[in-house]
Amino acid sequence: MKLKGKEKQFWWNFGQINNSKNIPIEIQNIVGIDDPDYNDEYFAMLIDKIKIIQSIYLKETDLTDKGVKYISQVKGLKNLTMMKHPNITKTCLPYLNKLIDLEYLDIWRTEIILKDLIELNQLKNLKKIYVSSARRAEDESYPELGNEQILEQIIMLEEIFPACTFIVDHKEYL
């Protein structure tokens, strides 16, 4: 079936696809860096057709919690990077929790911080997670918790993520 309107433009830009029967149901990865076109609308259109994606790498795009809701419908997602997205908040944690195949999660410099991870209790396959210890301050700086406070939180999280390495503010905790 021929594509029309926004959908036609989207799939042409995605892979020079002009017929819906040529849209794949599975792709290996999506990469978006410093690109506002990778936004909620992009993922709504993409995930309407593509159901299996193994890796999504996004850095400083226009993705918000709404886009994470779309991403949560993907099957087989093992790697998800959404670093430096201030509009991704703990509101999307129930959606992230649906990504049960996830092994790698990078949510550093989002509004999801270390203490929020306790809500991700369905991510039993998680092996590595990058996260900030504290939310962005009003002056847009990123304060960091002390090592002792971080360790206290990680000890609590080890029950949920026994085989996971935590990278908190770029410091590794096993």
Mean pLDDT by 10-residue block, N- to C-terminus, for the chain (174 residues)?
Answer: 86 92 96 96 97 98 98 98 97 98 98 97 97 85 83 94 95 89
**Domain 23-173 sits in which CATH superfamily?**
Ribonuclease Inhibitor (3.80.10.10)
- Give the pLDDT score at 108: 97
Predicted pLDDT of residue 125: 96
Tell me what pLDDT residue 146 has.
Answer: 85
**Angstrom distance (rounded) from CA 87 to CA 84:** 9
Output the pTM of the full model.
0.93
CA 139 to chain centre: 25
Residue 144 has a pLDDT of 78
Rg (alpha carbons) of the chain, rounded to whole number: 17
pLDDT at 168: 96
